[in-house]
């Protein structure tokens, strides 16, 4: 985050830059005099928060807040804030691109082009239209609704499963996840990870999908029972999958529970980069800097997220409408 770092230094603040994955003891030592913790993936459990007596706030450089012990921060009156809105359309575009790649067999055909130089129109390469197909969305927050609007523009039928499905959802509501999955040609996951959504799409849900259906996950790996997904792909119980997120990251060709996916031409693997565009990074940096400066200047920090874990905060915060 060179721009954020430079702006904070220009405002007179001293920065200690530490790598993600740093040892807990080193992080504790560096937080003893810290006023602000700006983090991305490094876990921030209660013992780290309690070891930082001067801490005024925690800013997550991105969306996911699962690594932060928010109750521990609340107990200390330390506000926690993320940057939720910088890549809503961006991630939806990424999910849509992955869906197109599955529909048109991009990975398999690219492999054939690399190996043979050409691919003649045989059944092996036969794709399918998105127009007229049914897309089921598991989660209909900002990103899910953006995905729904894009799908509607392609004349897809859109279904949505979400306990808090908004009134402006541009598709059909479904109250039962398993029954919705049986209707879908494509299933795209867009819910947050919490205790209720961990393994929300498990063996029973995957078994309810059509053998011709595809699964897309750009949200969090652990929303899907990845072991059950791997079994289903091996057994050809579903047509394929496109994944940008994994329960254990980074993914690896060897020694990872999902290493076998690399060899599957009906599986597109993306390295958690659907958010990563020039425009989204600029928005992320601008919002992150604004939240950091609010905390350092002693102002209430703006919480833009609708996540109830952040909305339950009562000290040092203000909420976007």
* 58 to 69, 107, 121, 289, 294: CA distances (angstroms): 11, 40, 55, 12, 11
Q: Where are the alpha helices (DSSP H) in the chain?
A: 2-10, 24-31, 46-50, 70-75, 88-103, 106-116, 142-153, 177-181, 203-208, 226-234, 278-296, 308-311
Report yes or no: 76 and 46 within 8 Å, Cβ to Cβ: no
Exposed/middle/buried for residue 266 (C-beta within 10 Å: 0-12, 13-18, 19+): middle
Residue 128: Cβ within 10 Å count = 16
Among the listed residues 245, 313, 275, the one whose alpha carbon sits nearest the alpha carbon of residue 83: 275
Q: Looking at the annotation, which residues are catalytic?
A: 220, 249, 272
Contacts of 213 (CB under 8 A, 6+ apart): 181, 184, 185, 186, 187, 238, 239
- For residues 247 and 255, what is the distance between their CA atoms, to the nearest angstrom? 14
2-10 vs 278-296: helix axis angle to the nearest 10? 30
What DSSP string describes 85-111? STTHHHHHHHHHHHHHHHHTTHHHHHH
């Amino acid at each position: 985050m060179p721009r954020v770092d430079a702006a904070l230094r220009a405002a007179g603040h001293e920065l200690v830059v530490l790598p993600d994955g740093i040892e807990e003891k080193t992080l504790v030592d560096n937080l003893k005099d810290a006023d602000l913790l700006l983090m991305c993936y490094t876990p921030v459990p209660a013992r780290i928060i309690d070891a930082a007596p001067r801490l005024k706030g925690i800013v997550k450089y991105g969306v996911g807040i699962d690594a932060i012990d928010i109750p521990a921060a609340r107990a200390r009156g330390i506000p926690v804030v993320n940057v939720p809105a910088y890549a809503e359309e961006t991630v939806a575009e990424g999910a849509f691109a992955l869906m197109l790649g599955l529909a048109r067999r991009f990975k398999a055909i690219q492999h054939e082009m690399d190996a043979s130089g050409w691919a003649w129109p045989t059944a092996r390469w036969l794709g399918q239209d998105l127009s007229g197909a049914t897309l089921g969305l598991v989660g209909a927050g900002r990103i899910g609704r953006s995905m729904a609007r894009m799908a509607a523009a392609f004349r897809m039928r859109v279904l949505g499963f979400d306990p808090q499905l908004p009134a402006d959802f541009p598709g059909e509501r479904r109250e039962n996840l398993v029954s919705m999955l049986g209707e879908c040609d494509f299933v795209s996951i867009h819910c947050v990870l919490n205790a209720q959504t961990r393994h929300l799409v498990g063996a029973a849900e995957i078994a309810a999908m059509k053998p011709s259906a595809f699964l897309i996950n750009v949200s969090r790996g652990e929303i899907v029972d990845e072991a059950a997904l791997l079994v289903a792909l091996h057994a050809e119980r579903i047509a394929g999958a496109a994944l940008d997120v994994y329960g254990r990251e980074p993914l690896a060709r060897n020694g990872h529970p999902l290493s076998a996916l690399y060899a599957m031409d009906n599986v597109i693997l993306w390295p958690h980069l659907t958010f990563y565009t020039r425009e989204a990074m600029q928005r992320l940096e601008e919002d992150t800097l604004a939240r950091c400066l609010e905390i350092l200047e002693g102002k209430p920090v703006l919480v833009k997220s609708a996540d109830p874990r952040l909305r339950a905060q009562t000290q040092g915060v203000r909420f976007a409408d």
